[in-house]
Structure 1
Amino acid sequence: MKQEFYEKTLATKSIFQGKVIELVVKDVELPDGNTSKREIVHHPGAVAIIALTKDKKLLVIEQFRKPLEKTIIEIPAGKLEKGEDPLECARRELEEETGFRAISINFITSFYTSPGFADELIHIYFTDEIEIGEVNPDEDEFLSVLEVSLSEAEQLIEEQKIHDAKTIYAIQYLKLKGGLT
């Protein structure tokens, strides 16, 4: 880490502690000696699963997202529980949300979703070996499962029905790997 960019934390104040996130405000000393405030969202992390059917269609879910005030289509994903292994979370979320169970599953990458104000790290997994499992969404989750081809996925992006980074990443990943028909 370049020392000339480092911000020293002088004080931290917790503003809100919710079920999923914590919001803190930090007083920091900037590299030039001045001070500033940083509003930071702490998040436990998440997983997302790129899952292909035997027909090489991408499993996606459609659900209403309150922060956006609209319904969007996304790859299956979910929040890590405290101390939960990301691989086990990926297996659990895939089955809970889609009703399919991964026979095998591979880690692809991890990335920060919004590093300017949040520390959420999302872990991306891939499977093209799935079998019928049991749908069991959370009690406050209302969703439908779809299977989309590459051309359908690209059209959904154009229509802004697929409108989130993790799903667009998944589609680009599959295009580069030649994994989606």
Structure 2
Amino acid sequence: MKKFEERTIASETLYNGKIIELRVDDVELPDGKRAKRELIKHPGAVAIIAITDQNELVLVEQFRKALERSIIEIPAGKIEPGEDPEKTAIRELEEETGYRANEFTYVQSFATSPGFADEIIHLYLARSLEKVENPAAGDEDEFINLQECTIEETEEMMKDGRIFDAKTAFAVLFLKELLKK
């Protein structure tokens, strides 16, 4: 057994929905004792740091039911089964913002909540943006307000809680460093 590895003894799916699967695993701990782990399985997502020619960050404001409020975020979306993350990012950028990028670069991937979920977000940098005349339609249950903000404005939004999620906070810090160069 690997150091700290927990061996799955049994697994029960409690819920299998459109976006997530909720599972409870019985595990054997490294010391031989047993425990239960409540896990969320997720297909993965993408997020896009979209920068205008004026060095403004393209953001979307939307209501997040889990938080019971609206927050401002970078464009993001769920990876469809079998879909390449970069293709997802290109699609989501157009659907959520109406932009297409002439420069699209992979930044990195990271776990969002590794204590209970396996969701991985693949982060991309989109530059040299152009508006799409007839952009692809977004999800019919998604209501979005588009914003373009300077790095200073986004830092203020982080301070006052309008930007509240980790992927967007990471994007703001990444962009701040990128603009220094």
TM-score by length of 1: 0.96
Q: Cα offset for 1:137?
A: 1.8
Letter in 1 for 2:19: V
1:89 aligned onto 2:88: yes
Q: Which amino acid aligns with 1:5?
A: F
Number of matched pairs: 179
8 Å contact 1:98–1:135 — kept in the other structure? no
Is the CA contact 1:60–1:147 (under 8 Å) kept in the aligned structure 2? yes
- Cα separation, 1, equivalents of 2:16 and 2:163: 30
Alignment correspondent of 1:36 = 35
* Amino acid across the alignment from 1:155: E
1:1-46 deviation line (CA, Å, top 9, x unaligned): x823111110000000000000010000011111000000000000
Q: Could you tell me how far apart the structure 2 residues matched to 1:132 and 1:18 are?
A: 34
For 1:4 and 1:51, the matched residues in 2 are separated by: 40
- Aligned to 1:72, the other structure's residue is in SS state strand
Residues 52-67 of structure 1: pairs in structure 2 closer than 5 A: 52-67=51-66
Q: Confirm or deny that 1:168 pairs with 2:159.
A: no
**Aligned 1:124-139 pairs, distance under 5 A:** 124-133=123-132, 134=135, 136-139=137-140
1:162 is matched by which residue type in structure 2?
Answer: I
SS at match of 1:56: coil
Q: Which runs of 4+ in 1 moved over 3 A?
A: none
| Contiguous gaps of at least 5 residues in structure 2 | none
Aligned residue for 2:179? 178
The whole-number CA distance in structure 2 between the counterparts of 1:7 and 1:100 is 44
1:135 Cα shift?
5.7
Alpha-carbon distance, 1:127 to partner: 1.4
| SS, match of residue 36 in structure 2 | strand
Contact persistence 1:95–1:101 (CA under 8 A): yes
Query: Letter of the aligned partner of 2:106 in structure 1?
Result: F
Q: Which moved more, 1:125-134 or 1:107-116?
A: 125-134
Residues 69-110 of structure 1: per-residue CA shift (max 9 Å, x gap): 000000000000001000000000000000001112000000
Name the SS for the 1:168 alignment partner. Answer: helix
- Point out where structure 1 has 5 or more consecutive residues left out of the alignment: none
1:49 matched to 2:48? The reply is yes
Give how far 1:176 is off.
1.3
C-alpha deviation, 1:136, in angstroms: 2.1
Give the partner amino acid of 1:33.
G
Aligned partner of 1:77 in structure 2 is: 76
Moved more, 143-152 or 133-142: 133-142
Sequence identity (%): 51
- CA, structure 1 residues 58+124, in 2 after alignment: closer, same or farther (shift >3 Å)? same
Contact 1:56–1:179, Cα closer than 8 Å, also in 2 = no
Aligned-residue CA RMSD (Å): 1.3
Classify the secondary structure of the residue corresponding to 1:119: coil
Using the alignment, how far apart are the partners of 1:70 and 1:120 within structure 2? 22
Q: Does 1:118 align with 2:131?
A: no
Please give the alpha-carbon distance, in whole angstroms, between the structure 2 residues aligned to 1:178 and 1:106.
16
Question: Is the contact between residue 7 and residue 29 of structure 1 (CA under 8 Å) also seen in structure 2?
Answer: yes
